[in-house]
Every structure is written in C-alpha cells, then in structure tokens.
Amino acid sequence: MENVRTLPVGEQMQGITATLDDLAREGARRMIAAALEAEVSDYVDQFAEDRDEEGKRLVVRNGRAKERGLTLGSGTVRIKAPRVNDRRIDEETGERERFSSQILPRYARRSPKVTEVLPLLYLHGLSTGDFGPALEDLLGKDARGLSPSSIQRLTESWQAEHAEFRHRELRFHRYAYWFVDGVHVSIRLGEDDRLCLLVVIGVREDGVKELLAVEDGYRESTESWSAVMRDLKDRGINEPKLVVGDGALGIWAALRDVFPHARRQACWVHAIANVLDVLPKRLQSRAKTMLHEIMEAPTRSEAGHARQRFREEFDAKYPKAIAKLDRDWQHLTAFYDFPAEHWRHLRTSNAIESSFATVKLRTRVTKGAGSKKAALAMAYKLLDALQVRWRRFNGHELVADVLEGVKFKDGIRATDDETTTDERVAA
C-alpha cells in the first residue's frame, strides 16, 4: 500500500488558505475579463454602421493592452484589457473619439475599495513605510501602486481635497439637523499631542446626511467649536433647527453664541451610559431596560411617567443616577417636538459614532512624529468614503416641514389650537 503523508494541521490550513485565496483571485480575474469583453463588444456594436469612404468600420477591436496588475480586495490580479481603435472625429472639437472603460479606467491600479481602506490603516497607526508589509499579507506579494511614495502622493492629494472641502460654499442646501461629536485620535502624534477631530454632519432638506466639517480642535473647547461654527456660518449655512450630540461637548456654549435659536438634543446613548456608570453591575441590566422604556416612550408625558418609575426604584440608594437623568431631561426629550419618523435618528449621535467606532478605540501611537495636517486629511477621507453609505432619514419628506417651522407635538403635526395652547402654557 502506497504511503500517504499527512500534513500537520498548520500546514493543512496554510494550504487550504492559499487555495481559497488563489480561487478568489482567479474568479475575480475571470469576472473582470468577461465584463471588459462585454463592455468593448457593446461599444463596437454601437457604432457598427459608422464607416469611412471605403466602407471600412470606424470603430473596431484592436488587440489587448499591456498586462497590468490590479489590486482588489481579494488580492492582486493580472489583467490584459481589450483595446478599441476608434477613428471617429468629434464634429465640435475636431478631435478623435476615444473609448474609455467605465469598469477599468485607463490608469487604474487599485479598486476604490482598496483606496478606501488606506486612511483607516493610517489612522490605526501605520506609517507610510508600514503599508507594504501590512498590505502584502492582505493582498498578496504582487500588490501594485501601494509603495511608500504612492501612499505619500495619496496623502498629499487627500490634503488638497480636504482644503477644497473646507472652503466650499454651503448656501445651496438648507440643513434641518446637525449631528456633532469630538473624536479623539491618539495616532502618530505622540502621547501629549492627540488629535481631536471636531465633526459636523448635516441633514439636508431631502433627508440626506452630508459631511459638513472635519476640523482639528483643542480638547473640544468652546473656542475651537466657535471657530467651526463661525466658519460654517460665513460660508452660508443656515441655522439648524436641532443639534444632536454628547452633553459634554463645548459645542453647546459655541452654539448659543453663533446659532442662538438652534435647539439641543442630548444623545441618549451617552446619557444611558453615564447613568449606568454610577450603578452597581448587578442592577445595570434592569436599569438599562427601564432607561430604554423612557427613551422609547411614545409621548413626552409617558416618558415622564417612566422616569418617575425609575426614580422610585433607584433614587433612595442611588441619587446620583437620578441626578444625571434629571440634569439633561429637557435636552433628552427635545425630539418630541419633531416628526416621529425622525426620532430613531435624533435620539443619538450614532451617525458619527458608528463611522468612527474603530478610530475611537484610542489605537496605539506609532513611532516618529506625524503630521496633524496629514492625519486630519486622512480622517476626512475616511468619512468622505463612508458618507455614501449613510442612511437617508426616515420620513425625509417631512424635513422640509421642519425647516419651514411647522410645529410638532409628540411627533405629530400640531393643530393651530394645540400650538396656541402650548404657547399660552409656556408664557
């Protein structure tokens, strides 16, 4: 009987992993090749009737381009893109037409998804010299276009994009809501020189979330936030109706100064965490359930009743927990004066929290001095790449009503009688 050598488990797993990676890359290569072939065939067929004086077609296939490496999420594949000879002349410019692939642009060496991950890796502490070894493990030894020099060029281009972003006009949309947060990033700048990102996300009249500001601030100070607010105002932004954020931010003093009529919504996620911090662990599960009942109450009145039940259960032994809840009560319940369809968005600053979940882990500081300007541009690029995935507001058609000053009571459009009664009670 022929001897059969059994590989150790570690070697078996390495072999399986290598095989899977190879299959993934080969599958990606074949799919891209097929897509490119179909794209070129469609283009050539589209102009099949265009012919010169001798009856020859003006648009024909022209072999294949030189092989190049294309770095994808599954690794690097080798591609020979089909070429097209297009002899048509543009009547307006007098120049020859040129085929340009929408799948694989002429000079592309990496997929947009790979480009998106670079700012994240930088913010996690990789210096430009670390990208090669790190990405070699992820994308294979043949990864192209990711050398330290190319990373440096990308960094410079992101800085230019951020500079343009910081000076764009903001008068072309109206924003009903803002989400604000201060994100501390302990990366590449030394223990005593942490980068604090001041981030503002707005909700436009069509319900789409849009990145408005990514700035460097000193410990989320009022002065830093005031500078951000004034800059947004100078570029034409309107005063928001409601601003959602953590209760510890210096933005609230800045907001009162620059946009005094904007209302404040405290983040329930932060508020719940603050209350649970002063309770023993054995009570936190029960307390968390009751706090969620308060947050999700269908009316302001029912939220008040739920708060009273929480008070009766915990106030005697844990008055600090009640004090934390009472302190921000007005701001925690501001959302009741806006459409109920918007509540799930307005009760928390998660729009920013989720985007920076990995960055806010206080990742390690790498050796060597880093550039605040570069790190700020990286953070901007990360958020810019993520904003295409941000969820549009539920009930987006009601955002325009909010901007027009329509009154809402417990999430429902208020009648004239209700509005008048509320104004008399307030007086």
The tens place of each residue's pLDDT in the chain, 427 residues long, gives: 444 444 454 544 444 445 666 665 665 567 667 767 877 888 888 888 888 888 888 888 888 877 766 555 445 667 677 888 888 887 777 788 887 766 565 655 555 555 555 565 555 554 555 555 555 544 555 554 455 565 677 677 888 889 999 999 999 999 999 999 887 765 544 545 567 889 999 999 999 999 999 998 766 788 999 999 999 999 999 999 999 998 766 889 999 999 999 999 999 999 999 999 999 999 999 999 999 999 999 999 999 999 999 999 999 999 999 999 999 999 999 999 999 999 999 998 877 766 666 444 333 444 433 567 777 887 787 788 778 778 899 999 999 999 999 999 999 998 765 555 554 444 4
Whole-prediction pTM: 0.68
Per-residue pLDDT, 406: 96
Cβ contacts of 89 within 8 Å, gap of 6 or more: 95, 96, 97
Per-residue pLDDT, 121: 56
On whether the CB atoms of residues 352 and 199 are closer than 8 A, the answer is yes
What is the residue whose two structure tokens read 């009751």?
A: 290
Per-residue pLDDT, 146: 52
Per-residue pLDDT, 265: 96
